[in-house]
Amino acid sequence: MTEVNRQFVLVKRPQGLPGPECIEYREGPVPEPGDGEIVVRNLYLSLDPAIRGWMDEGEGYRDPIALGAVVDGVTLGRVVKTRNPDYAEGDLVTGIHGWADYTLSPGSLNSTRVPADPPFPLTAYLGVVGPTGLTAYFGLLDVGKPQAGETVLVSAAAGAVGSIVGQIAVLSGCRAVGLAGTEAKCRWIVDELGFDAAIDYKREGDHLSEAIAKACPQGVDVYFENVGGPVLQAALDNLNVGARIPFCGAISGYNAEAPVPGPTNLWQLLVKRARFEGFLIADFAPRFGEGMEKLSAWVAEGKLRYAEDIVDGLEQAPQAFLKLFDGSHSGKLIVRIAEDA
């Protein structure tokens, strides 16, 4: 076990993509727990688009990462020191522990214990049976309310959340159509994940609206919104009466350096009596148990497949984070910080 606590610290708020001038490498001592505290040895770090939003000042749904503070991010780790009676040494925990080897935590909701011997790799706790899967599960089922026989259109469909949304749509008896940015991703979500159809939105360019119409001959009943921009515009063109749009993210705008105008056809929400509704997974915390149980069962039964892109070494985190925004990964992006002891 290294005695140095490697960390990445936010030193400058990014304009556009966060470059090396924004995220600084530092080393510090391994923390010692105070009364009621624990120290977590982080094993895996989840890289999520939302982190980019947390780097910005204001307008967010949580306090921005302070300048000089460790970059926030969900990790899976083990308790290595404890002065909190609710935790034993060796407990597996997840929480927003940040881009660091070791994290001092007050426990409780900041570090949630997870079962030690799951029927799947531990990394699934950061993805398909963790925040990613829960986002897909509650966003699609509770906000989108898909009915069997309906059509569910998913943006960023080869991404961590989108790939699960489409599979849950299929498990709910819906037609799942995915939007992805390469032919390989399109093939993957159809051939491996069981989406009914896929659209390469980059290839379609200005004809995306027509391509959606073709892939969704019965129209779109649920559009799972991850991206914003021209994709949202094209989706709005194809809504059915009474459509629902769970609003999970808008990655196309996260690194914009100027305000990005919204779609010109919001009017379609009125024409189609449609509902555009934002949600945050934290609001569903009281039901996480239900969601994890369902997701775990689907994974165990082979009904829910997932891909991981695991990058080795905490030192790779800043560079790997950029892959979220250039479309060069599929599935859940995770940094392996350390081998599990």
Residues 6 or more apart from 250 whose CB is under 8 A from it?
A: 225, 226, 227, 228, 229, 232
CA distance 318 to 22: 10
Residues that bind a second copy (CB under 8 A): 59-61, 228, 247-250, 253, 259-280, 283
Q: Which is nearer to a second copy, 254 or 298 (CB)?
A: 254
State in angstroms the smallest separation of the CB of 141 from a second copy: 16
Partners of 77 in the beta sheet? 42, 93
State in angstroms the smallest separation of the CB of 13 from a second copy: 17
Q: Which is nearer to a second copy, 138 or 298 (CB)?
A: 138
Q: Which is nearer to a second copy, 171 or 213 (CB)?
A: 213
Q: Which is nearer to a second copy, 280 or 322 (CB)?
A: 280
State in angstroms the smallest separation of the CB of 59 from a second copy: 7
The token pair at 289 is: 């148990």
CA distance 295 to 281: 15
Q: Which is nearer to a second copy, 59 or 326 (CB)?
A: 59
Position of tokens 């892959």? 323
**Amino acid letter, residue 282:** A
Pairing between β-strand 102-105 and β-strand 239-247 as defined by DSSP bridges: unpaired
Measured in whole angstroms, the distance separating CA 115 from the mean position of its chain's CA atoms is: 21
Q: Which is nearer to a second copy, 265 or 316 (CB)?
A: 265
State in angstroms the smallest separation of the CB of 253 from a second copy: 7
State in angstroms the smallest separation of the CB of 168 from a second copy: 20
Ramachandran bin of 317, using left for φ above 0, alpha for ψ from -120 to 50, beta for the remaining angles: alpha
Q: Which is nearer to a second copy, 4 or 260 (CB)?
A: 260
CA distance 297 to 194: 18
CA distance 133 to 146: 17
The token pair at 260 is: 């990005």
CA distance 309 to 330: 7
State in angstroms the smallest separation of the CB of 248 from a second copy: 8
State in angstroms the smallest separation of the CB of 266 from a second copy: 5
